[in-house]
Amino acid sequence: MADTNRGVVYVEPGRVSVEDMPYPTLVLEEQNNRRLQHGAILKVLATNICGSDQHMVRGRTTAPAGLTLGHEITGEVIETGEDVEFIKVGDIVSVPFNIACGRCRNCKEGHTGVCENVNPARAGAAYGYVDMGGWHGGQARYVVVPYADWNLLKIPADRDTVMAKLLDLAMLSDIFPTGYHGAYTAGVTTGSTVYVAGAGPVGLACATACFLLGAAVVIVGDMNKDRLAQASSFGCEIVDLSAHGNLAEEIEHVLGMPEVDAAVDCVGFEARGHGPEGSTTEQPATVLNSLMDATRAAGRVGIPGLYVTGDPGAADEKAKEGTLGIRIGLGWAKSHVFTTGQCPVMRYNRQLMMAILHDRVQIARNVNALVIPLDQAPHGYEEFDRGAAHKYVLDPHGELAGARF
C-alpha cells in the first residue's frame, strides 16, 4: 500500500495549510488522464520555501485557492515509468524548477525555462506555480516529475555524503542556479565590481555566485538589517537602503567611484523606494532604474527578480498588468545589456553540484538555511514574510537531522 501524502496548499491571501492529498501516480487526472510513461515519482527529502511562493501567498498573483505549492525539490526516486531508461529507483536527484520536455526547439537550444510543450497557456512551466501549467507542487511528501531522464539531475555520490550535504544540494533546484544566472548574465568575472539588489535568499545566492565567479567586490543593498548582516557575514559590502536614498553615493563610498561593472536585480516587482521616505512605499520600477544609474556604460544587468503580467495588489492600474515606469532611455544611452526571465536551471546545476560536492562553496551557510518540519510550513511562511533572514527548508520525512553547513 502506498504511503500517505501531505502537502502545502494555498488557501487565500496570507494563508497556507498543510493538508492530506492523494498519493501521486503517473496518470494525471487533472491533465485528461495523461500517462507519464516518461515520468518518475519521488519521495521528497527536502523542499524549500521560495520568495516567488510568497508573491502568491501575499495575493500578489492570480493563483487559485487549492494550489499545491513548491518548486524547489530534492528527492529519492521510488517509481519510474516504463519509458525511463537512465534514472533508477533509489537515485537521489535534484529537480530543476523549470519543467521541460527536452524535445522542443527551446529545450534543444538550452532555453528550458520556456519549454513549448509543458504548459498549454504559454511557454514555460514550473511545479506548484500560478499560470505555469497546473503541475502539482513539491512542498509535499511525494511528487511526480515528467520527462525524468531529461529533467532529473542524479547526484553522483554515496548516500551518506549526499545526506550530509543535502542542505547545500537542496539549493540546486532554484536559488543557487538563479543567483548564478543573474551574476553570469550580468558579466561577472575575475575582478568585477558588482551590485546585488536584495539580500533575500536569491540575492545571497547571487552574491555567493559572484565570489565563485571571481568578483573583487560584491555590494548588497537591502532594507532589512538582519539580511544585510547575513550578507556581510561572508564578505559582502552592504548598503542599508532604508537609510540611504542615493545608491551611487553609497557605491562611491565603497569603490571610490559611483558605478559598478555589473548589477543584478534580485528583488522584482514588489520593490520599494530608497531612503527614509521612499522605503515605506512600493515603487516597482525603483530597482531597475537604480541599477541602470549605478552600472557603468556598456555594463550588463541581470534580472532574475520576478516580474509578472498580473498583479492584483499593485499600487496603480498600469502595474497591475506589469507596465512599469522604467527609464529605458537611460539604459539605451549607456548601452546596457539586460537579461530577464526564468533561469534555465539545467545550464548551471551540474557545475554548481560539483562545486558543492567538492567543498568549493557553502551555499546553505551563506543563505542561512533553516530546517523545519513540513507541518510547520505555515509558520515558516509567516516568518519569511516578516523578513526573517533564513532560507526555510521543509523536511517532509524527518531525514535532514544529519545535514550540516
Phi-psi region of 346 (alpha: psi -120 to 50; beta: other; left: phi over 0): alpha
Set of cell numbers at residue 375: 507541518
End-of-domain residue from the set 313, 340, 367: 340
What torsion do the CA atoms of 367, 368, 373, 374 make, to the nearest 10 degrees? -20
Beta strands 217-222; 193-197: pairing state:
parallel
Q: Does residue 19 contact residue 364 with C-beta atoms inside 8 Å?
A: no
What's residue 104's pLDDT? 98
Question: Do 221 and 131 sit in the same domain of this protein?
Answer: no
Banded model confidence at residue 43, pLDDT cuts 50, 70, 90: very high
304 domain-assigned: yes
What's residue 33's pLDDT? 78
Question: For residue 184, what is the domain's CATH number?
Answer: 3.40.50.720
Residue 309 pLDDT > 90 = no
Which residue, among 248, 206, 244, 205, has the nearest Cα to 225 in the 3D structure? 244
Set of cell numbers at residue 124: 514555460
Set of cell numbers at residue 362: 557553502
Question: Do 161 and 263 sit in the same domain of this protein?
Answer: no
| Residue position matching grid coordinates 510543450 | 117
End-of-domain residue from the set 325, 340, 355: 340
Higher pLDDT, 269 or 44: 44
372 domain-assigned: yes
pLDDT tens-place string over residues 377-403: 999 999 999 999 999 999 999 998 766
Set of cell numbers at residue 262: 555589473
Q: Where are the alpha helices (DSSP H) in 138-217?
A: 148-151, 159-164, 166-169, 175-185, 201-212
What's residue 190's pLDDT? 98
Q: Across residues 72-89, what is the average pLDDT?
A: 97
For 253, residues 6+ apart whose C-beta sits below 8 A from its C-beta are none
pLDDT tens-place string over residues 222-262: 999 999 999 999 999 999 999 988 999 999 999 999 999 99
Question: For residue 76, what is the domain's CATH number?
Answer: 3.90.180.10
Question: Do 59 and 160 sit in the same domain of this protein?
Answer: yes
> Looking at this protein, which amino acid is placed at residue 81?
G
pLDDT tens-place string over residues 131-145: 999 999 999 999 999
242 domain-assigned: yes
405 domain-assigned: no
Question: Do 214 and 270 sit in the same domain of this protein?
Answer: yes
Q: Across residues 184-190, what is the average pLDDT?
A: 98
What's residue 402's pLDDT? 64
What's residue 1's pLDDT? 44
Q: Does residue 383 contact residue 390 with C-beta atoms inside 8 Å?
A: yes
| DSSP letter assigned to residue 355 | H
Set of cell numbers at residue 88: 533508477
The DSSP code sequence of 75-94 is EEEEEE-TT--S--TT-EEE
Percent pLDDT > 90 in the chain is: 84
Structurally, the chain folds into a number of domains equal to 2
CA dist list (Å): 368 to 171, 338, 371: 11, 29, 10
pLDDT tens-place string over residues 141-160: 999 999 999 999 999 999 99
- Mean pLDDT taken over the chain: 94
For residue 325, with 0-12 CB atoms within 10 Å meaning exposed, 13-18 middle and 19 or more buried, which class applies?
A: middle
| Residue position matching grid coordinates 527536452 | 102
Range of the domain at 52: 5-174+344-395
